[in-house]
A and B are shown apart, each in its own frame.
With several copies, the nearest count.
Chain A
Amino acid sequence: MPSENSQTPNVNDFSIHVATINGSGSQTSNNVLMRTIFQMGVPVSGKNLFPSNIQGLPTWFTIRASKHGYIARRKEVEVLVCMNPETALDDLKALPPNRVCIYDAPLKLSNKRTDCTFFEIPFARLVAEIPETDARLKKLLANMCYVGVAAELLGLDLAESEKALMKHFKGKTKPVALNMKALNLGVDYVRKTYPKAQVPYRIERMNATGGKIIVDGNMACAIGALMAGCSVIAWYPITPSSSLVESFIDLAKKYRHDPQTGKATYAVIQAEDELASLGMVLSAGWAGARAMTSTSGPGISLMAEFAGFGYYAEVPAVIVDVQRVGPSTGLPTRTQQADLLEVAYLSHGDTKHIALLPGTVEECYSMMQDAFDLAERFQTPVFVLSDLDLGMNNWMADPFPYPTKDFDRGKVYTDADIEKLRAAGKKFERYRDVESDGIPWRTLPGNPEEGGSYFTRGSGHDEAARYTERPEEYQRVMDRLARKYETAREWVPKPELTGGPVADIGIIAFGSSHTPVLEAMDQLSADGIRTAYLRLRALPFHRSVQEFVALHPRVYVVEQNRDAQMLKLLKADLPAELCTRLRSILHYDGLPVYADAIHEGIKRMEVPQRVVSGGKGPGTRGEE
């Protein structure tokens, strides 16, 4: 429902799109603008669209205010702020009619279209008035100035902006004052130049964000790792994963040093590459530490060999993949869910992995903890598949609850256990299935009890961890590994059902597609189509996935990749007769999927004469 420029203003239900240049400090202003709305109690989300370079290229930031609490990306924009000469014409062209455009005066946009309301602001001239600032700071302040303009036009509470600045500058009053000055210059200029201006978009106080936090998924993962007692991280920088580890470092510096000695209860190792990262993580996990790495697609590819070792030698490890657009280097600063097939079967030979699929920042937090527990319980690499949208964008959330469960350190024989075994005339055998759940017992290096040691290898081994090439011994271990994987189905986070149980169609999605799906469900419901939505939260699939598919004649699998990767994994796992029900909604242009795309994709296939879409232009692709 695009809000038209009518008499009744659109309150708390529109998007602001800010086009700037990266490296110009627009990040701060964008955050202050977003926080101002948030602090006014209005649900809000912010998506940063930035280039894969450091300075000088176009960047966009979209803030969505939604009284309904929709925090997914919207494609439509109501208020456009043009600060970047390079993209201004294109940005303006994409604006629907009757919207508002604020622009930097030299861009002279007002004569390009007549169907928009323009606000021309001479930002540079305005901030020139502020004394004692260098060129770089001037640029920053010009950006802050646009916040003032927007505040005045949209009815924002400047006190909240000041609070946001205080937060940003950690209470340092000087920069806050300076920025408030720039902000007020914007306010004053609008009041003076456009005294009667009335834009049809307003932010009004609500009470929907009280007590909430704003956080990105990488920070949420970092907090999760911190609370999970992660003690060794080996990593190699890569966008969009780096900030996860960097956030962990910041947190750990504060919360993970021994109060007496000041010494660290964690080690963060910047490795020379991703092969080394995973090698370090595996041996640390093998030696008993809770160890993890974080990377993105190219790093995952480099980890393929070691991942297979971890699977076969049964070594715990947590591997976060903050997915970006592939293939290859692809678009490092765009989002996609296209590493599923790679991760599910990573490495040569018969390997299959456990993977968790957080769909919210809350789950980034909780699933990092699950991941460590599962890695140690199942003695295997556990992947956490986040993505750039989830990981690097700002999401509103309830504060994370303190964990209620103790660490699950899995089946580890202590010295005493080994001694007991020996006393009972038994022997520790590393790869024996003692409880018939496929999970063997392990010991840790430095175990001083005789008979407690074993030799770990990626080559053929029998149940006592001895080298073997005997067919039956090899196969016995492989069959147990398959059994272990089956056990995992009941241990991993279960899928989450929304809507239903009676519904016309089913929707399956996962990860960052979650919020757009929720919004699309409302849209479909408005069209009279009742939906039930199962959100996958892990590989391997829980049996409820099968039950869900069996309940619905058609199930739409929404995913952000070209090759319908999750659908392929579902087909591989589900009974064949159920697979006929599955249909694909694909979105893979690098921007987060949005509700309209899902809504339209499903509607198109649900109307009686089905329209089969082929190699159409960009956007979302529906396929049967």
Chain B
Amino acid sequence: MATTVTPKPPAEKKNRLGLTREAYTGGKSTLCSGCGHDSITAQIIQAFFETGVDPKNVVKVSGIGCSSKTPAYFLGQAHGINAVHGRMPSLATGANAANRKLKCIGVSGDGDTASIGLGQFCHLIRRNVEVIYIIENNGVYGLTKGQFSATADMGTAHKKGEINEMPPVDCCGLAVELGCGFVARSFSADFKQLKALLEAAIHHNGTAVLDVVSPCVTFNNHPASTKSYKYSKDHEIPLHDIDIIPHFEPQAEIHIEPGTTREVELYDGAKIVLKKLEEDYDPTNRAQATQSIERSRQAGQFLTGLIYLDTARRSYVDQLHLVDEPLANLPQSRLRPDPKALDEIMDSLK
């Protein structure tokens, strides 16, 4: 049966815009009950609600797949565009250029991003287009019934028994290599961490990649799968505990124990507080990021948390030196040069 993503919250709770969580919900999910993607949807709703982003100033983009359907299930008041398989990044880029004021959130699958869409994914990162890029990663093509995707781990088994012999495309490793300024990994069942990372991503100015392991209960949740709930739970290694102090609420009720935490400031003044777990991890150190990913990959572990952060790079829209107003809103008078200009051009051709 189809499930509703959003258990009703207590009606009274409102965010800084005076909106209830309800204002951040969308249509009814049609995914399989228990699908990891639905949990991610729930955290997206929660993160946007808590951060207090106006849903009408958001645009949602996606490709094709079970995962790519989910933008219909959150932020119903935002415009959304769900195009073709693997091309979500180009949508984000165009929407950014046309209207720089909109917050862009993109949802993709591992097939959508790492198989057919790998080129666009890399080029989006290279441009540093401002988008929260969520990969709902289940290692298979859910919607076409469970074939391996390019993120399938080496040695993982298909439902039918076949073993994958190729190494996975590691979207986080790739993102770091390509100079992405915000790279995080999480697990759809790790609600708290996922929400915190989403909130951090909302504050980032540039491409924020969130690779979220999100089990496919129907096709890839069997014992020999490395993307099952059980395997993921057993092998998850969180880098740190994460909390966000929004810029609009600097006195947030986070209890910080001195010496055990690291603070990182985001683009708009919000802060991430990272409580160290096993070891102290510095997400602003690119070399360490690469190494940690590589090490955990070799150990068969699954590292979660904020892997890499660099807030210094300019977003693509900034690189384009655009006027402050959205291009989409400019009136004819600012878009069509005056007759003098045309005369000048004609003279140059005489």
| A interacts with B | yes
Residues of A at under 8 Å CB distance from B? Answer: 21, 23, 52-57, 211-215, 219, 223, 226-232, 234, 236-239, 242, 251, 254-256, 258, 261-267, 269-273, 275-291, 298, 305-306, 309, 313, 328-329, 399-400, 402-403, 406-407, 443-448, 450, 452-459, 467
**Candidates A239, A290, A305; contact of B335 at CB < 8 Å:** A290
Interface centre among A271, A453, A456, A467 (most CB of B within 10 A): A453
Once the chains bind, are B90 and A279 in contact (CB under 8 Å)?
yes
Q: A236-B116, A456-B81, A458-B82 are in contact. Are A283 and B90 (CB under 8 A)?
A: yes
Distance A273 CA – B102 CA, assembled complex (angstroms): 25
**Candidates A211, A286, A450; contact of B350 at CB < 8 Å:** A211
Once the chains bind, are B83 and A306 in contact (CB under 8 Å)?
yes
Is B337 close to A, CB under 8 A?
yes
Closest approach, in angstroms, between the C-beta of B122 and any C-beta of chain A? 8
Chain B 83-125: CB-based contact to A (< 8 A → 1; otherwise 0): 1111101111111011101100000000000011011100100
Once the chains bind, are B61 and A264 in contact (CB under 8 Å)?
no
A selection of 15 A-B contacts at a CB cut-off of 8 Å is: A53-B143, A54-B31, A212-B350, A227-B337, A227-B342, A264-B320, A264-B322, A269-B97, A272-B115, A283-B83, A286-B98, A287-B328, A298-B85, A329-B84, A455-B72
Once the chains bind, are A55 and B82 in contact (CB under 8 Å)?
no
- Residue of A with least CB distance to B323: A263
Is B144 close to A, CB under 8 A?
yes
Once the chains bind, are B350 and A264 in contact (CB under 8 Å)?
no
- Residue of B with least CB distance to A332: B143
Once the chains bind, are A258 and B32 in contact (CB under 8 Å)?
no
Once the chains bind, are A287 and B102 in contact (CB under 8 Å)?
yes
Once the chains bind, are B332 and A229 in contact (CB under 8 Å)?
yes
Once the chains bind, are B332 and A406 in contact (CB under 8 Å)?
yes
Is B258 close to A, CB under 8 A?
no
Q: What residues of B have a CB within 8 angstroms of the CB of A215 in the complex?
A: 349
Summarize B's interface: helix, strand, loop or mixed.
Answer: mixed
Once the chains bind, are B56 and A448 in contact (CB under 8 Å)?
yes
Per the 8 Å Cβ criterion, residues 1-51 of B in contact with A are: 1-3, 30-33
Q: A231-B330, A445-B102 are in contact. Are A457 and B120 (CB under 8 A)?
A: no
Q: What residues of B have a CB within 8 angstroms of the CB of A278 in the complex?
A: 90
Q: What residues of B have a CB within 8 angstroms of the CB of A251 in the complex?
A: 345
Residues of B at under 8 Å CB distance from A? Answer: 1-3, 30-33, 54, 56-57, 59-61, 64, 66, 69, 71-72, 76-87, 89-95, 97-99, 101-102, 115-116, 118-120, 123, 141-145, 147-148, 150, 218, 320-324, 326-330, 332, 334-337, 339, 341-342, 345-346, 349-350
Q: A403-B336, A453-B76 are in contact. Are A287 and B98 (CB under 8 A)?
A: yes
Distance A599 CA – B59 CA, assembled complex (angstroms): 49
Once the chains bind, are B87 and A276 in contact (CB under 8 Å)?
yes
- Residue of B with least CB distance to A281: B94
- Residue of A with least CB distance to B329: A288
The 6 A-B pairs of least Cβ separation, nearest first, read A279-B90, A229-B335, A288-B328, A283-B94, A280-B94, A445-B79
- Residue of B with least CB distance to A85: B1
- Residue of A with least CB distance to B72: A455
Distance A277 CA – B89 CA, assembled complex (angstroms): 11
Summarize A's interface: helix, strand, loop or mixed.
Answer: loop
Once the chains bind, are A283 and B64 in contact (CB under 8 Å)?
no
Q: What residues of B have a CB within 8 angstroms of the CB of A238 in the complex?
A: 144
- Excluding A288-B326, A400-B342, 12 further A-B contacts by CB distance (< 8 Å) are A229-B335, A237-B145, A265-B334, A272-B123, A275-B90, A288-B328, A399-B349, A445-B59, A446-B56, A453-B77, A453-B78, A455-B79
Q: What residues of B have a CB within 8 angstroms of the CB of A467 in the complex?
A: 72
Once the chains bind, are B346 and A400 in contact (CB under 8 Å)?
yes
Distance A263 CA – B330 CA, assembled complex (angstroms): 13
Distance A276 CA – B116 CA, assembled complex (angstroms): 9
Interface centre among B69, B82, B335 (most CB of A within 10 A): B335
Once the chains bind, are A232 and B327 in contact (CB under 8 Å)?
yes
Once the chains bind, are A267 and B320 in contact (CB under 8 Å)?
yes
Distance A269 CA – B119 CA, assembled complex (angstroms): 16
- Residue of B with least CB distance to A449: B56
Interface centre among A254, A261, A288, A313 (most CB of B within 10 A): A288
Once the chains bind, are A455 and B218 in contact (CB under 8 Å)?
no
Q: What residues of B have a CB within 8 angstroms of the CB of A262 in the complex?
A: 321
Once the chains bind, are A255 and B89 in contact (CB under 8 Å)?
no
Once the chains bind, are B84 and A456 in contact (CB under 8 Å)?
no
- Residue of B with least CB distance to A450: B77
Q: What residues of A have a CB within 8 angstroms of the CB of B327 in the complex?
A: 231-232, 265-267, 284, 289
- Residue of B with least CB distance to A39: B350
Q: What residues of A have a CB within 8 angstroms of the CB of B323 in the complex?
A: 258, 261, 263-265
Once the chains bind, are B328 and A272 in contact (CB under 8 Å)?
no
Q: What residues of B have a CB within 8 angstroms of the CB of A403 in the complex?
A: 336
Closest approach, in angstroms, between the C-beta of B3 and any C-beta of chain A? 8
Interface centre among A54, A230, A264, A450 (most CB of B within 10 A): A54
Once the chains bind, are B93 and A283 in contact (CB under 8 Å)?
yes
Q: What residues of A have a CB within 8 angstroms of the CB of B77 in the complex?
A: 450, 453
